[in-house]
Amino acid sequence: MSGVILSPQHPLSAGLTSDSRLVRAYRGERADATPVWFMRQAGRSLPEYRDLRVGTRMLDACLDPAMASEITLQPVRRHRVDAGIFFSDIVVPLKLVGVDVEIQPGRGPVFGRAYADAAGVAELTAIDPARLDEASAPITEAVARTVAELNTTDNGSGTPTPLIGFAGAPFTLAAYLTEGGPSKDHLAARTLMHADPGAWRALMDWTAELTGRFLRTQVLAGASAAQLFDSWAGAISLADYETHVAPASAAALAHVHDLAYETADASGGADAAPTTRSVPVVHFGVGTGELLGAMHGIGVDTVGVDYRIPLDVAAARVGEGVPLQGNLDPALLAAPWPVLEAAVRDVLRRGQAAPAHVFNLGHGVPPETDPTVLTRVVELVHGASA
């Protein structure tokens, strides 16, 4: 394997997280218990988060290293999950390179203008994505702060808790950029895709470069895995995904694929050469049951599955040897405990169809969720799968 070897101080290289439940599952191995974390575990469902965020806008919180780190750590302390997910937003890299965007409460990201035609795309792509490297100091510091505490945080598994890096997929960024904000059908993106394929490719190449650099920054700063999150890929057909979207997602992930770490081979004795492994990569999309095989095909280790498709069906679609992540319906978090418990056990049972399974939700934690329920689910997953 050729590429960039992470520094000896990186949690993977130092052997702190390389044998954690999460990292082992991402490379297809089952540990003493099924690892569990929740998308959107850091944030709105936690009273400590709401207290901390009083008077601070979302993007300001993301770019305050101390605050972003604390928010990332809150659910790890409370729920004893097997991973932290870096607190950020998909538009953070856009903000860092100078795109006019703010997150409006109750609406989402809103841009100063829409980039829905060739002229708009040309204006946007004139911004050099390499600017991100110069503007990423708050991200690097936030990750480093978080990892420093996680390196001493054992959730009961016997190893420090790894951090997962996070970024929005190129198509999801493009969907927001072409609309100038949120959309129910992402019609502007789908229209540009077919009406002006050249402008679409330019936009996707640019968002891929930006997202890839953002993920790479987090991994180099200490994240032990990287997740590419495609909120809106479920809005397009398989044919359009394969032709117009998958190449850009693959290009984004190429920024992480060349990052590797070396670990001692426990079976080879003291004089054995170290084993070189790549940094684990996860790809999750919403409403992407028909795209799962193609999503795996862009070069990911683990495929995240949303709540619309059972894990055993997903395992058949992605093929043998692919670890899965997911996929409890978030709505069940508000159900009576016997109903929720049965659903959790069903997800664990169906997850046995994959070589390894990371328990998660099939989307994010709803803001109304009782945090004690999440803690109880973590305890159930660990106990039932041990």
Q: Token pair for residue 84?
A: 């932290």
Cα(108)–Cα(110) distance, rounded to whole angstroms? 6
Asked if 72 and 84 touch (Cβ cutoff 8 Å), the reply is yes
Q: Token pair for residue 121?
A: 């795309």
Q: Are strands 101-104 and 108-111 parallel, antiparallel or unpaired?
A: antiparallel
Closest listed residue to residue 81, CA positions, set 355, 349, 361, 276: 361
Residues in the chain, overall count: 386
Neighbours of 57 (CB within 10 A): 13
Annotated binding site: 40-44, 89, 176, 231, 363
For the chain, first and last CA: distance in Å?
A: 34
Q: Token pair for residue 254?
A: 């190429």
Closest listed residue to residue 305, CA positions, set 332, 286, 322: 286
Closest listed residue to residue 218, CA positions, set 160, 300, 169, 279: 279
Annotated binding site for substrate: 40-44, 89, 176, 231, 363
